Amino acid sequence: MSIHRLLPLFERARAADQALVLATVIRTGGSTYAKPGAQMLISADGEYAGLLSGGCLEGDLREHARAVAQSGAARIVSYDMRSSHDALFGLGAGCEGAMDILLTRVGPAENWQPLDSMAAATRRGAACRIGFVTTSRNEHIPPGLHLLDGAVPDPSSVVASELLAIGSAMRDAAPNSLVNLRRPDVALFVAVLAPPPRLLLLGGGPDARPVVTLASFLGWRSSVVDHRSSYLSPERFAPGTELIEVRPANLAASVELDSFAAAVVMSHHLDSDLLYLRALARSDIPYVGLLGPAARREKLLADLGAESARLRGRLRAPVGLDIGGRSPESIALAIVGEIHAVLAGRPARPYSEVAPMPDPPERA
């Protein structure tokens, strides 16, 4: 799960001292737009950030969110659209799925938690684990209560031992899963905020800019390396982009390469790209992309010699998916799309091939 789309609304609401409602998907069945762990924010005036459906449920969730914002009492809202009777909900969504959504208030009374900690983790590029109590038979552990990973409960609390037990179960739970505890008698949803992927671009030319723009839209953190200071002007790139001026030969000594999930070599300079590839071959970055035609790839690999073997299974060259585009924006889309698929462990096949349409029935 990622919350980068929620942060602008969160910051505005906190600046105005207005409470929000955090909606978290805790259980799904059938075909649903969002999966457990997906979240959205709803403000007092009905504005929302994030999506839990294709717009089918958000309007109805606003009404429930108003009640939660006023009372502060968490609630679970359930939708089941797996039958032809989903019109009973007044939605007519036809999504053929079921979803349970936990609504909790986040505002001054809650010290803006857990969103404050989640936002801080995202900015640091760190993971964050939060346990939400979904049901409880203990009056001192109400539904909606959350525990942050590593937080130590107040030892003077009447339920200190119970909270310690919840914290222990939380650390052992699978990401974005429901856990039932006998002692205390509660159900817990463990939401895990993964650190945003880090993308390294080796070369800051004009075609690097749309790659960073798309990566930023996805919430990824990008770093751009170039030895030409003119290419490292902050206004050229999305806010928050790390710009590193270093010569290709000094890359490994200046940049912690193994902290990146993906790197793309795109300096358009053969000698620079060779030095970049040599440094990447000695790293453990799982995805290495190389811009340029196959003939260029073969020359660079030949020049790398025996070191090229260390790139086997990681190197994507020419980089990107074959989507037929030639503009910088299309190439950027192809690059980011391939990285996204590789990091997700997906083959980047069309959904129509993954779930092919049945043959039409034969006529009598």
Any idea which residue has 């390396």 for tokens? 225
- Rounded Cα distance, 325 and 190, in Å: 41
Per-residue DSSP letters for 147-210? EETTPPPPTTSTTHHHHHHHHHHHHHSPTTEEEEETTTTEEEEEEEEPPPPEEEEE--STTHHH
Closest CA to 123 of 190, 196, 61: 196
Distance (Å, whole) CA 22 – CA 69: 10
Buried b / exposed e along 111-142 (16+ C-beta atoms within 10 A): ebebbebbbebbeeeeebbbbbbbebeeeebe
Phi/psi of residue 186, each to 5°? -140, 160
Residue-wise pLDDT tens digits, 234-248: 999 999 999 999 999
Q: Which of 154-158, 278-282, 287-291, 306-310 has the lowest mean pLDDT?
A: 154-158
Instruction: Determine the Cα–Cα distance for residues 178 and 189; give it in Å rounded to an integer.
Output: 4
Please choose, from the candidates 339, 364, 342, 82, the residue with its C-alpha nearest in 3D space to the C-alpha of residue 222: 339
Q: What is the mean pLDDT of residues 209-230?
A: 96
What is the CA 23 to chain-centroid distance, rounded?
16
Non-local (6+) Cβ contacts of 312 within 8 A are: none
Rounded Cα–Cα distance for residues 230 and 355 (Å):
48
Q: How far is CA 252 from CA 39, 225, 244, 344, in A?
A: 38, 11, 12, 26
Distance CA 161, CA 122 (A): 30
- Give the number of other CB atoms < 10 A from CB of residue 296: 15
Q: Which of 26-35, 111-120, 187-196 has the lowest mean pLDDT?
A: 26-35
Per-residue pLDDT of 108-145, as tens digits, reads 999 999 999 999 998 888 889 999 999 999 888 999 99
162-171 exposure pattern, b = at least 16 Cβ within 10 A, e = fewer: bbebbbebbe
Radius of gyration of the chain (CA): 24
User: Could you report the per-residue pLDDT of 326-353, keeping only the tens digit for each?
Assistant: 899 999 999 999 999 999 999 888 888 8
pLDDT class for 90, splitting at 50, 70, 90? very low
